[in-house]
Amino acid sequence: MTFPARSLNLCLGTHVSIRGGLPVALDRGESLGCGAIQIFSHSSRTWTAPVVAPEDIGHFLDRHRHSSVGPVLVHASYLINTATADPEKRVKSAESLRNDWILANRLGVYGLVLHPGSSAGQSEEAALERSAEMIREVISAPVEGETLLLLENTAGGGKTMGRNPREMERLLDCLDRSAKVAVCLDSCHLLASGAEIRTPKGYEEVVSAWQSASGSGGVRAWHLNDALFEKGSGRDRHAHIGTGTVGLWFFWNLLHDPRFAGLPMVLETPKGEETDKEDRANLSLLGRLAALDDFRPDDPDVLSLLEELEAMA
């Protein structure tokens, strides 16, 4: 079962593996009917990145030009902490981020997604300054391209930065509101950090606060994930769409929010042994919700897809 999400001016997609090379990720996205994809440039939990040869970049650009996949997001390594005060970690973080930034621009992709990091062990002020210093240095690297650095909201655990609009606004201010920097919102992280996004009133308050904190750049991409734990848990654990604590209404509403029409919206839902099947079911459910003018959780297609996803949870 597939639904034509693209005709609704939606850019729905999912995170895909780069196994076999960067261009192969586009093949995977196409076979799933994605309008957008997200990739890691290398293993997200290691520092060392293999060097990407110029011909591989050329191959990717050529493949992307003829692809039905639109915007591509590259997700930076989870190890990066732009706010760290530890000298060795600062060098490694800056190098990893700079490499990804240069690569993302050369690949001509829409955005590089970054979790800003953690302010653990220092004042919020000092962490912001350190974070902004590293980001400024990286985005001023001499590379041509129009890639956006997309700062992602966090689930709010520990001392992670950017867990609410106020924190993100302060960081964006420290970056002098650079046109190269915008925000990517993750629905699981919103709920986990305590934002009530499941009611019309709550949704509107949360979304308006993020839009105004994000300035003229605004929110420029979404990660669509349901959440395993309760609102305010601070825990970053994703669930299949409709099977977690975020629930279907939020996704239906977001897909119909004209403020986000045409932006890349990418799944980062759990991937077990049947990755393709899981991705397809999540994408089909989003596509079906998008196709419904009214919120109808009792729609037969919605119900059967939900059942399929619950069985895979």
Interacting residues toward Zn ion by CB under 5 A: 186, 223, 236, 268
Instruction: Give CA–CA dist 106/100, Å, rounded.
Output: 10
What is the smallest separation between the CB atom of 193 and Zn ion, expressed in angstroms?
A: 11
Q: Which is nearer to Zn ion, 52 or 213 (CB)?
A: 213
Please state the φ and ψ torsions of residue 297, each to the nearest 5 degrees.
Answer: -65, -15
Q: Which is nearer to Zn ion, 105 or 269 (CB)?
A: 269
What is the smallest separation between the CB atom of 188 and Zn ion, expressed in angstroms?
A: 6
Selection from 103, 193, 115, 191 nearest residue 147 by Cα = 103
Q: Which is nearer to Zn ion, 175 or 191 (CB)?
A: 191
Instruction: Tell me which H or E stretch contains 128.
Output: helix 124-139
What is the smallest separation between the CB atom of 226 and Zn ion, expressed in angstroms?
A: 11
Strand partners, 149: 112, 181
What is the smallest separation between the CB atom of 52 and Zn ion, expressed in angstroms?
A: 23
For the chain, report the end-to-end CA distance as a whole number of angstroms: 19
Q: How remote is the C-alpha of 259 from its chain's centroid?
A: 17
What is the smallest separation between the CB atom of 155 and Zn ion, expressed in angstroms?
A: 6
Q: Which residues, 6+ apart, have CB-to-CB distance to 152 below 8 Å? A: 113, 114, 115, 116, 162, 183, 184, 185, 186, 189, 223
Q: Which residues, 6+ apart, have CB-to-CB distance to 95 below 8 Å? A: none
Q: Which is nearer to Zn ion, 186 or 278 (CB)?
A: 186
Q: Which is nearer to Zn ion, 96 or 160 (CB)?
A: 160
Q: Which is nearer to Zn ion, 220 or 223 (CB)?
A: 223
What is the smallest separation between the CB atom of 217 and Zn ion, expressed in angstroms?
A: 18
